[in-house]
Protein backbone atom coordinates (compact mmCIF):
# COMPACT_ATOMS: atom_id res chain seq x y z
CA UNK A 1 0.00 0.00 0.00
CA UNK A 2 1.37 3.38 -0.94
CA UNK A 3 2.29 5.59 1.97
CA UNK A 4 -0.58 7.90 2.79
CA UNK A 5 -3.25 5.94 0.93
CA UNK A 6 -6.44 5.16 2.82
CA UNK A 7 -7.09 1.39 3.23
CA UNK A 8 -10.84 2.03 3.34
CA UNK A 9 -10.71 3.81 -0.03
CA UNK A 10 -8.47 1.10 -1.50
CA UNK A 11 -11.00 -1.58 -0.58
CA UNK A 12 -13.98 0.63 -1.43
CA UNK A 13 -15.67 0.42 1.97
CA UNK A 14 -16.77 3.00 4.53
CA UNK A 15 -14.80 3.48 7.78
CA UNK A 16 -17.84 2.13 9.63
CA UNK A 17 -17.78 -1.16 7.67
CA UNK A 18 -17.95 -4.41 9.60
CA UNK A 19 -15.26 -7.08 9.41
CA UNK A 20 -17.55 -9.12 7.14
CA UNK A 21 -18.03 -6.24 4.72
CA UNK A 22 -14.27 -5.64 4.60
CA UNK A 23 -13.57 -9.33 3.92
CA UNK A 24 -16.24 -9.44 1.22
CA UNK A 25 -14.83 -6.38 -0.54
CA UNK A 26 -11.33 -7.84 -0.33
CA UNK A 27 -12.38 -11.19 -1.80
CA UNK A 28 -14.19 -9.47 -4.68
CA UNK A 29 -11.15 -7.35 -5.52
CA UNK A 30 -8.80 -10.33 -5.27
CA UNK A 31 -10.99 -12.28 -7.69
CA UNK A 32 -10.92 -9.40 -10.18
CA UNK A 33 -7.24 -8.46 -9.83
CA UNK A 34 -5.47 -11.78 -9.30
CA UNK A 35 -2.88 -12.46 -12.02
CA UNK A 36 -4.38 -15.90 -12.76
CA UNK A 37 -7.92 -14.54 -13.21
CA UNK A 38 -7.27 -13.10 -16.67
CA UNK A 39 -4.12 -14.66 -18.16
CA UNK A 40 -4.81 -13.15 -21.61
CA UNK A 41 -4.02 -9.60 -20.41
CA UNK A 42 -1.24 -7.74 -22.13
CA UNK A 43 1.90 -6.80 -20.13
CA UNK A 44 0.98 -3.20 -19.07
CA UNK A 45 -2.46 -4.31 -17.85
CA UNK A 46 -0.91 -7.25 -16.00
CA UNK A 47 1.59 -4.97 -14.23
CA UNK A 48 -1.11 -2.46 -13.27
CA UNK A 49 -3.33 -5.26 -11.94
CA UNK A 50 -0.42 -6.73 -9.97
CA UNK A 51 0.37 -3.34 -8.41
CA UNK A 52 -3.30 -2.81 -7.50
CA UNK A 53 -3.46 -6.38 -6.15
CA UNK A 54 -0.49 -5.67 -3.84
CA UNK A 55 -2.14 -2.44 -2.67
CA UNK A 56 -5.41 -4.27 -1.91
CA UNK A 57 -3.55 -6.99 0.01
CA UNK A 58 -1.68 -4.41 2.10
CA UNK A 59 -4.91 -2.52 2.87
CA UNK A 60 -6.59 -5.74 3.96
CA UNK A 61 -3.64 -6.57 6.23
CA UNK A 62 -4.28 -3.32 8.11
CA UNK A 63 -8.06 -3.63 8.32
CA UNK A 64 -8.45 -7.35 9.06
CA UNK A 65 -6.55 -7.18 12.36
CA UNK A 66 -8.68 -5.40 15.01
CA UNK A 67 -5.63 -3.99 16.82
CA UNK A 68 -4.02 -2.58 13.66
CA UNK A 69 -7.39 -1.23 12.48
CA UNK A 70 -7.97 0.52 15.82
CA UNK A 71 -4.47 2.05 15.64
CA UNK A 72 -5.10 3.24 12.08
CA UNK A 73 -8.49 4.72 13.02
CA UNK A 74 -6.89 6.54 15.98
CA UNK A 75 -4.22 8.04 13.70
CA UNK A 76 -6.96 9.16 11.27
CA UNK A 77 -8.79 10.92 14.10
CA UNK A 78 -5.59 12.64 15.26
CA UNK A 79 -4.87 13.83 11.71
CA UNK A 80 -8.42 15.21 11.37
CA UNK A 81 -8.00 17.56 14.37
CA UNK A 82 -6.76 20.93 13.09
CA UNK A 83 -3.63 22.41 14.61
CA UNK A 84 -4.27 25.50 16.79
CA UNK A 85 -3.28 28.79 15.16
CA UNK A 86 0.17 30.09 16.00
CA UNK A 87 0.57 33.56 17.51
CA UNK A 88 1.63 36.36 15.18
CA UNK A 89 5.36 37.03 15.17
CA UNK A 90 6.57 39.98 17.22
CA UNK A 91 8.07 42.92 15.34
CA UNK A 92 11.85 42.90 15.04
CA UNK A 93 13.90 45.12 17.31
CA UNK A 94 15.08 48.42 15.88
CA UNK A 95 18.62 48.05 14.54
CA UNK A 96 19.48 51.67 13.68
CA UNK A 97 21.04 54.12 16.15
CA UNK A 98 18.65 56.72 17.54
CA UNK A 99 18.79 60.22 16.08
CA UNK A 100 20.30 62.97 18.18
CA UNK A 101 23.58 61.31 19.15
CA UNK A 102 24.80 61.50 22.72
CA UNK A 103 24.49 57.78 23.22
CA UNK A 104 26.81 55.14 21.89
CA UNK A 105 24.85 52.51 19.96
CA UNK A 106 26.00 48.97 20.76
CA UNK A 107 23.23 46.78 19.40
CA UNK A 108 20.10 46.42 21.48
CA UNK A 109 21.84 47.63 24.67
CA UNK A 110 22.72 51.32 25.07
CA UNK A 111 25.82 52.35 26.95
CA UNK A 112 26.80 55.92 27.76
CA UNK A 113 30.22 57.07 26.54
CA UNK A 114 32.84 57.59 29.27
CA UNK A 115 32.84 61.06 30.85
CA UNK A 116 35.96 63.23 30.45
Residue 102 lies in a domain: no
86 within a domain of the structure (yes/no): no
Q: How many structural domains comprise the chain?
A: 1
- Evaluate whether residue 69 is within a structural domain: yes
37: CATH:
1.10.287.110
Per-residue pLDDT 10s for the chain (116 aa) are 555 689 999 999 999 999 999 999 999 999 888 877 767 678 888 888 888 889 999 999 999 999 999 999 998 888 877 777 888 888 776 666 656 655 555 556 666 677 76
CA separation, residue 23 to residues 5, 12, 18, 63 (Å): 19, 11, 9, 9
Structural domain contains residue 73: yes
- 98 in a domain, yes or no? no
Amino acid sequence: MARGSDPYAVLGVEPTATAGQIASAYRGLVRALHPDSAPARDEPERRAAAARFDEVAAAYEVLRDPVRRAAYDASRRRAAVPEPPRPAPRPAARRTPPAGGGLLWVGPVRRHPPRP
